[in-house]
Amino acid sequence: MNSLHARQLSLYSLLAIPLAFGSLPLYLFMPDFYAREMGVSLAALGTALLCIRLFDAVQDPVFGLWARKLHGRNLRLAMVGLLAALAVSLLSLSSPSNAVSPLLWFVVMMLLSTSALSFVQILYQSGGALWSDDYHTRTRITAWREGFGLLGVIVAVSLVAILRQKFPERDAFLFFGMIFCVLLALAGWAWCSWAKRHSRSSPFAEKTFSITLLTQHRRFFGIWFTSQLASAIPVVLVLFFIRDRLQLEAFTGLFLALYFFSGALGMPIWRWVEKHRGKRIAWASAMALSIVAFLWAFGLGVGDMVGYALVCIASGLALGGEMALPPSLLADRISSTGDEAQTPLLFGFAGFIGKASLALASGIALPFLSIQGYVPGQENSPESITQLAAAYTILPCIIKTLALLLLLGDRTLEWEKPCLSAY
């Protein structure tokens, strides 16, 4: 199936909007909320996030193994059950109980939310990877899905900003969780409608898990992990950088909206680059743009609103390419190696490296800043603020440059014909 209608793509992609609602609080707002409103220490949160994300990462390949057995009606039932679990756990995370330790509540609800979200993402992305056999259509599918996801992030960021202005912090996140549940139900219905007509089951998985399956794609996954690690560090530190380095906390919603909106607008650009230069060069171009943007960000100081807005636009454009291209490349590799039956497992491992990068970023960046004497939202020394800026900008650029060099130096990571002889 090489020609897909916009209606089909919309039914499939709508689920990405509430999933973005779910991902954003888990990885961006919730740690800051529990630190400021619930009094949980930054060091404790950093340690808890490291453990949670490592556990979440390790379970993704296990979910991938289970997901291989889900087809047809059982697949749709599993998705509905997982979406319900995600809704309940994230709503509970957004409205912490006064009868339980805030740190304990955070850990338990984060574990439940991230587990449900991880399984959903594996089923969701695997379905998209199996939908079409066409090289360019795969990028179109991932661009639609990730574009809708970025729109979901934009709406979520704007909604959080509006709710925070009109309601106390705890009420704001409670209302946010309720809206998330409604959107998740509607988008889940749309996905089920798509799945009844257009989802393609993977061939029966006769093979059990084999480390050879993963080592066959070791270079690709290694580059993807390195690039994601570089991107994860700014995700962990962005709120702190805006509030304490730039002192522009009131414009946080605007900056994040610019960032994600630019990512959504950039999807057609990366599709054009991919068609004319190939997916590997397109991905490398996105990495290079990200490096330039964050090097510029290091020189920004208090009140540099326009400068940081430009950083958000440039890095957002880069984000679009880094979201759309690697999953499309992975789908190509699965088809080329004849591993369609292992699609959920390989996307589960892709989830693993993404979560592992976030875990490592949290486990490195937050304790490091705590050792340097940095305290979020408080008076900090110029030295600790400089360390914050360096951790937010320079360190990711170094890691991203390594990923870029590895990508440019290996031409075996992309092909259009089913051939692995060069590998």
Is 419 part of any domain? no
Closest residue by Cα to residue 151 from 276, 17, 345? 17
Sign of the dihedral defined by the CA atoms of residues 384, 38, 101, 86, in that order: negative
Q: Distance (Å, rounded) from C-alpha 55 to C-alpha 62?
A: 11
Q: Distance (Å, rounded) from C-alpha 34 to C-alpha 96?
A: 9
Q: Tell me, what's the pLDDT at 67?
A: 73
Helix (H) or strand (E) holding 346: helix 343-371
Tokens of 368: 């490091």
Q: Tell me, what's the pLDDT at 400?
A: 94
Is 409 part of any domain? yes
Q: Distance (Å, rounded) from C-alpha 98 to C-alpha 38?
A: 10
Region of residue 247 (left: phi > 0; alpha: psi -120 to 50; beta: else): left
Q: Tell me, what's the pLDDT at 309?
A: 94
Q: Tell me, what's the pLDDT at 204?
A: 46
Is 118 part of any domain? yes
Is 418 part of any domain? no
Number of domains in the chain: 1
Is 175 part of any domain? yes
Q: Tell me, what's the pLDDT at 26?
A: 67
Burial class (CB in 10 A: 0-12, 13-18, 19+), 235: middle
Where b means 16+ CB within 10 Å and e means fewer, 146-163 reads: bbbbbbbbbbbbbbbbeb
CATH classification at residue 385: 1.20.1250.20
Is 303 part of any domain? yes
Is 179 part of any domain? yes
Is 180 part of any domain? yes
DSSP 250: G
The domain containing residue 124 runs over which residues? 6-413
Query: Which residues of the chain, if any, have pLDDT below 70?
Result: 1-4, 24-28, 71-72, 99, 132-135, 198-214, 336-341, 375-378, 411-423
